Amino acid sequence: MEPFVTIITPTHNLLENNMADDFNLLIKLLDIQTYPNIEHLVIDNLSNDGTVELLKAYKNQGFLTFFSERDTGKFEAYNKGVMRAKGKYVTFLSCDDFIHDITAIYDIVNLMEANNADFSFSPAYCRHPEGFVFLFAPAMHTVFQVLPCARQAMFFKKSMIEKEGFFDEKFKLLADYDLIMRIILKRYKPVYFDTNYVTYKLGEKVQQSQQRAVAETKSIFNKNYRTMYSLNDEILTKMSETSEFPRPLLEKLSTFFPEEDKELFFERCEQMHQLRVQAAQNKQQ
């Protein structure tokens, strides 16, 4: 029997925020997936605008299971979803994301099973709030500097997330980046699914909260790298704002890639640093 997959989606006041149509698209496209054992688990943050009634209607039609109770944000909702999930594998989709490839879940599960992988990653289409769409291609060699791929384009073993203590809820914007970094530092086994199967909307909260995003990035770096290198606020600021990392720290981080990728790792890290320096300069002009 094929293992269960749990799709976890947080919701809050879909009607008030004009997201009912987006959510309906997510539901309908999940319903035509070719994989047979899919559970869609919705964690609602005590909506009070008619969303709960909408979710009840979907539940009565067999599309989903939902729980409506107060939470502190999407990462607590994700953690609640993982705790309740019956799937061997879980993935996290927001109410305005959707899987546009109907065979994707079937193909990803088969790939993960064949490779005994702990997580998968893939390219994804990203819808920008300004109306255009771009491809977010994974860049794993820069994972220790910036988010390497879209969280929406990843599947995770539920047991791995449980073992690693779930999402760290103190990070309100970037707990997904912290989790991705932790599982790579723990050398869990990845597999690359070379298909663009998901479309997601760029998170506006991160875009609108740049100072908080920088502060969280500094905290994530300090949390995960402090045993490797002596860090202070000046170093952490450079790391988070322009991806300028001390060479001795990069040397240690390079060991998480195959020896033959070492030079490529340093090359990609330098490219990321230069890109972010240029972006900072352009913003000042």
Could you report the per-residue pLDDT of 252-271, keeping only the tens digit for each?
A: 999 999 999 999 999 999 99
pLDDT for 151 beyond 80 = yes
pLDDT for 206 beyond 80 = no
Q: Are 96 and 23 in contact (CB under 8 A)?
A: yes
Say what percent of the chain tops pLDDT 90.
Answer: 92
Whole-number pLDDT of residue 203: 76
Whole-number pLDDT of residue 209: 81
pLDDT for 176 beyond 80 = yes
Q: Are 121 and 149 in contact (CB under 8 A)?
A: yes
Which homologous superfamily is 5-225 in?
A: Spore Coat Polysaccharide Biosynthesis Protein SpsA; Chain A (3.90.550.10)
Torsion of CA 177, 180, 182, 183, to 10 degrees: 170
Whole-number pLDDT of residue 207: 67
- Residue 172, amino acid: K
Structural domain boundaries of the chain? 5-225, 228-285
Mean pLDDT over 4-18 rounds to 97
Torsion of CA 12, 15, 18, 19, to 10 degrees: 50
Q: What's the chain's average pLDDT?
A: 95
Mean pLDDT over 205-232 rounds to 91
Q: How many helices (H) and strands (E) does the chain have?
A: 11, 11
* Weakest-pLDDT range from 96-105, 205-214, 229-238, 262-271: 205-214
Say what percent of the chain tops pLDDT 70.
Answer: 99
Mean pLDDT over 173-201 rounds to 97
Backbone angles phi, psi at 55, to 5 degrees: -65, -35
The span from the CA of 44 to the CA of 70, in Å, is: 8
Q: Give 165: exposed, middle or buried? Use CB within 10 Å, 0-12, 13-18, 19+.
A: exposed
Whole-number pLDDT of residue 131: 86
Q: Please tell me what DSSP assigns to residue 247.
A: H
pLDDT in tens, 94-147: 999 999 999 999 999 999 999 999 999 999 999 988 889 999 999 999 999 999
Mean pLDDT over 197-209 rounds to 82
Q: Bigger pLDDT: 67 or 208? A: 67
Mean pLDDT over 215-242 rounds to 97
pLDDT band at 195 (very low <50, low <70, confident <90, very high): very high
Q: Bigger pLDDT: 283 or 197? A: 197
pLDDT for 173 beyond 90 = yes
